[in-house]
Structure 1
Amino acid sequence: MRRPTKVLVWIGLFLAAVMGVAVLLAEPLQEAFMANPIFNGMILTVLVVGIIINLRQVVMLGPDAAWIRAYKASRVTQVPPKRGVLGSLVTLLTERADDQRLRFSPVSSRALLDSVRSRLEESRDLTRYFIGLLIFLGLLGTFWGLLDTLRAIGEVIRDMRITGTDATGVFDELRAGLEAPLSGMGTAFSSSLFGLSGALVLGFVDLQAGHAQNRFYNDLEEWLSTVTQYGSGGIGGSDGDTTIPAYIQALLEQTADSLDRLQRAMARGEEERRSADRNIMALTEQVASLAEHTRSEQKAILNMVRGSTDLQPVLSRLAESLDRRGADQGEMVDVLNRLEQETSRMVQTMQNERGDMAERLAEEVRLLTRTIARQRDDDR
């Protein structure tokens, strides 16, 4: 773990250069400061507080880095830093100080690094706020001075009186009236000067503090990578090493693959079962429609049979009547006999068609039974 001394040196050199420039420009800076001492004093106060906070953040990295170096060197823990950025890592290393072979899991290492990173980011939030506050105060002083300038110009124009021919008096009056607008412009530009300059100085100091924190974080990450046990189940020493053997890991991977294939097969089986259920429902609807059509045809055939049955007694009575009329009506009797034969043949034909229809219906029922039985076998 590297000490943050180099960063402190860079910050000191930069602040010394800024102070040197301020000494060289002491008179104009003093005049600019006195143009608006309230706003400029607030800006300088925020700048000084921001620099102190950044220096404190860099200095606080020293005890943490020294503690890590001492821990790596001898594993004999000195007094840990009370309010450092290591946080839970200090507590954990203190509890495991007697282990001869300290090991972390990758998950534990990442969690510890994330904890340190969050602490470092939180410590820099206040500095970023101070940089924004410096810019805001500079802009606020600028607008304040511009408002004073506009107000003073309005008063000068309103109070100016041009009477007589004394141009010298008018010019003196105008010059006296412009002192207030010029004072307002001084307020505006001086606030902008100090605000933006302070933001620039504090931004450089914050940049150096960020570099120091990044170096600290990178060193900590490199050290944790040397004590990370990949494949380990947690934190432990030589007695608590829980590395999984290669053959067990291979068995676990094979089991996971088998479970994955089984899950996909079950999903496909479920989809096929749903498709079969839909097919059975469609087939059931078709069979119901066929049965309805068959019942309609049976009703039509029965009506035809009843009609032919009712016609036979009439024909019989007509034949008897013709027989009584004598032999001269033999030709008519022959015609009636032929009509009776044709009627009988028609009845026979309808009976044959009814038998064929019953056979077709039985064939359809047998086909439906075989289809349902085959579908149940596929589901099993």
Structure 2
Amino acid sequence: MAKDFSDGIKLSQPRPYLTRMMLFLALVGFLLLILAPRIMDAFLANPGLNGLIVGTLFIGMLYAFRQVLQLGPEVKWVNAFRRADPGLALPPAPQLLAPMATMLGNRKGRMTLSAGSMRAMLDSIGSRLDEQREISRYMIGLLIFLGLLGTFWGLLITVSSVGDTLQSLNVEATDSASVFTSLREGLQAPLRGMGTAFSSSLFGLTGSLILGFLDLQAGQAQNRFYNELEEWLSTVTNVIDVPATAGENTTPEQASLLALAGQIAALTEQLHAEQRLVRELAENQAAIRPALEELAGSLKKRGS
């Protein structure tokens, strides 16, 4: 029995998740302000790659906030749909609930859904939510990749610079001061390579940590929206018991019994076929028995 759509269930806005995200970013900003001089030195070790990492992080943060903010109009539309009288014009549904609005747009009187229709709508919405989160996951992986790329890049610079330094070092010189000076100048390039490696790892891993927390909050907001939507749709869904037909809606025990019955029937038919074969063989033997006796008698006469 379907319930009326005025059941009192109301979808909640995602404000708590936005608050957590902003508080987390405020804490991160406070730490950056304290460590600003050292962070600036690490950033200048490789401004190009580190700038790319920071830019990717900024885009990912904006997308995470967009995922949560997008749920606000969706929640508002669902609550307005529940309160609206049948036949009353509603504003166009947001992008996420467009298929649902198409299916429910022509309701008359008390709204009821079949279990199949409810599952189809929830599957469509769930696939759209998963598609949005795939982009955030990719950007988290991209930040880690850029950090590792900078690490290997810096290590490559370090190894090649150390080799060049050792080759250019004149160990036969008598002036130890000149040898030390050339060694110190030659080690500047390897140190720059190490700075590139460690700074890129620092920005890449830190960025993935920040974006991972924001993606976690966005995922929790989407999951709560999906669960509350499912709870509301379950109150307007009719569950109709349909008698089970052969091959449909059977329990595992019934399926096993049907399979066993089929095997027994096949075995019975095989036994009947073997009995018919034995009967035909016996009849054939009875038919040729006189001929065999006559042939045996002829052979006996010839032998005598």
TM-score (norm 2): 0.85
Counterpart position of 1:162: 171
Counterpart position of 1:18: 28
Counterpart position of 1:190: 199
* Change in CA separation of 1:303 and 1:169 when aligned onto 2, cut-off 3 Å: closer
Given that 1:106 and 1:230 are in contact with CA atoms closer than 8 Å, whether structure 2 keeps it comes out as yes
- The one of 80, 91, 105 aligned to 1:79: 91
Counterpart position of 1:212: 221
Counterpart position of 2:135: 126
TM-score (norm 1): 0.68
C-alpha offsets along residues 90-127 of structure 1, whole Å, 9 cap, x if unaligned?
A: 2222222xx22111111111111111100000011111
Counterpart position of 1:298: 294
Is 1:141 matched with 2:150?
A: yes
Given that 2:73 and 2:94 are in contact with CA atoms closer than 8 Å, whether structure 1 keeps it comes out as no
Given that 2:147 and 2:202 are in contact with CA atoms closer than 8 Å, whether structure 1 keeps it comes out as yes
Query: What are the within-5 Å matches in structure 2 for residues 265-276 of structure 1?
Result: 271-276=267-272
- Larger Cα Rg: Structure 1 or Structure 2? 1
Counterpart position of 1:176: 185
Q: Give, in whole Å, the separation in 2 of the partners of 1:200 and 1:48.
A: 13
Greater mean deviation of Cα atoms: 266-275 or 19-28: 266-275
Given that 1:4 and 1:58 are in contact with CA atoms closer than 8 Å, whether structure 2 keeps it comes out as yes
Q: Give, in whole Å, the separation in 2 of the partners of 1:180 and 1:127.
A: 36
Instruction: Choose between structure 1 and 2: higher helix proportion.
Output: 1
Higher relative contact order (CA 8 A, sep 6+): 2
Is 1:93 matched with 2:104?
A: yes
Counterpart position of 1:229: 238
* Change in CA separation of 1:66 and 1:77 when aligned onto 2, cut-off 3 Å: farther
Q: Give, in whole Å, the separation in 2 of the partners of 1:41 and 1:15.
A: 19
C-alpha offsets along residues 20-76 of structure 1, whole Å, 9 cap, x if unaligned?
A: 111111111111000000100100010001111111111110000001111112344
Given that 1:77 and 1:94 are in contact with CA atoms closer than 8 Å, whether structure 2 keeps it comes out as no
* Change in CA separation of 1:207 and 1:269 when aligned onto 2, cut-off 3 Å: closer
Is 1:286 matched with 2:272?
A: no
Identity of aligned residues (%): 44
Q: Give, in whole Å, the separation in 2 of the partners of 1:50 and 1:307.
A: 109
Query: What are the within-5 Å matches in structure 2 for residues 322-341 of structure 1?
Result: none
* Change in CA separation of 1:92 and 1:146 when aligned onto 2, cut-off 3 Å: same
Equivalent residue pairs, number: 285
**Structure 2 letter corresponding to 1:80:** P
Given that 1:150 and 1:181 are in contact with CA atoms closer than 8 Å, whether structure 2 keeps it comes out as yes
* Change in CA separation of 1:263 and 1:206 when aligned onto 2, cut-off 3 Å: closer
Given that 1:57 and 1:209 are in contact with CA atoms closer than 8 Å, whether structure 2 keeps it comes out as yes
**Structure 2 letter corresponding to 1:35:** A
C-alpha offsets along residues 190-247 of structure 1, whole Å, 9 cap, x if unaligned?
A: 0000000000000000000000000000100100111111118xxxxxxxxxxx8xxx
Given that 1:40 and 1:194 are in contact with CA atoms closer than 8 Å, whether structure 2 keeps it comes out as yes
